[in-house]
Chain A
Amino acid sequence: GAGVSQTPSNKVTEKGKYVELRCDPISGHTALYWYRQSLGQGPEFLIYFQGTGAADDSGLPNDRFFAVRPEGSVSTLKIQRTERGDSAVYLCASSPREGAPSAFFGQGTRLTVV
């Protein structure tokens, strides 16, 4: 596809369960970001990948959150032992290596923990 694709678009899970959120970046984009957006707030940075490696994971709130990008393309954000406070929209963005510092966002995954 032409844009950043995130699946699922919506996810409802029970407190304590494990969830995985997937991001397919724009083809050829080497930089990939995860953000979290709570209602009425701007997105907050979680983690940044350049290629396969996590170059900056300073935004991950605690060790229940983990993300991988094993082949330098698709990324998965994993949340263990979900809590109600994890409910938010999780956004993925990608950027080309070269050129402007623009980030192209996906539609997001709306996670609801009940």
Chain B
Amino acid sequence: QKEVEQDPGPLSVPEGAIVSLNCTYSNSAFQYFMWYRQYSRKGPELLMYTYSSGNKEDGRFTAQVDKSSKYISLFIRDSQPSDSATYLCAMTRMIYNQGGKLIFGQGTELSVKP
């Protein structure tokens, strides 16, 4: 079993829809939780990160972490065709001011149709 599980999709939604992307994990030591967006043939781009449990909002994006359930989510409001990409969740046990390897999910391919 992988440390981080993510449904690969593909997920197709109409423009303007609310998108919900999710990951589950098994390692309770993870402290930081990230969401990356990856366009085709590009490197991953950090969208946002959260430390421990809670919510974080940035524009149309909201990240949620529930450590008790080992479950994280990314919500995209008012989705746009430009949001079409693969979304990767990632986690780390990093200690502040030190490096830490990221453990990624498989990625969910999202398509937003005009």
Tell whether B14 is near chain A: CB-to-CB under 8 Å.
Answer: no
- CB closest chain-A residue, reference B33: A101
Choose from A35, A44, A100, A105 the contact partner of B45 (Cβ within 8 Å): A105
Choose from B43, B88, B100 the contact partner of A42 (Cβ within 8 Å): B88
A4-B43, A42-B88, A42-B106 known; A100-B49 Cβ under 8 A = yes
Chain B neighbourhood of A107, CB < 8 A: 41-43
Question: Chain B's interface: helix, strand, loop or mixed, by majority?
Answer: loop
Tell whether B55 is near chain A: CB-to-CB under 8 Å.
Answer: no
Q: 1/0 contact trace for B94-110 toward A, CB 8 Å?
A: 10111111111111000
Stretch touching chain B among A48-56, A62-70, A71-79, A80-88: A48-56
Tell whether B34 is near chain A: CB-to-CB under 8 Å.
Answer: yes
Chain A neighbourhood of B18, CB < 8 A: none
Q: How large is the interface on B (under 10, 10 to 19, 20 to 34, 35 or more residues)?
A: 20 to 34
A40-B8, A101-B94, A102-B34 known; A45-B46 Cβ under 8 A = no
- Expressed in whole angstroms, the Cα–Cα distance for A23 and B98 within the complex equals 20
* Contact A55 B99, beta carbon cutoff 8 Å: yes
Q: Total interface residues on A, using CB and 8 Å? A: 30
A40-B8, A41-B106, A42-B105 known; A102-B99 Cβ under 8 A = no
Chain A neighbourhood of B36, CB < 8 A: 105
The interface centre, meaning the residue of B44, B96, B98, B107 with most chain A CB atoms within 10 A of its CB, is B44
Sampled A-B contacts (22; CB under 8 Å): A4-B43, A33-B99, A33-B102, A41-B107, A42-B4, A42-B6, A42-B90, A42-B104, A43-B88, A43-B102, A43-B104, A45-B101, A45-B102, A48-B99, A48-B101, A56-B101, A101-B96, A101-B100, A102-B46, A103-B46, A108-B43, A110-B41
Chain A interface (Cβ < 8 Å from any Cβ of B): 4, 31, 33, 35, 40-45, 48, 50, 55-56, 59, 91, 93, 95, 97-98, 100-108, 110
Task: Give the top 7 A-B pairs by smallest Cβ distance, nearest first.
Answer: A42-B104, A105-B43, A45-B101, A31-B99, A101-B94, A101-B32, A105-B44
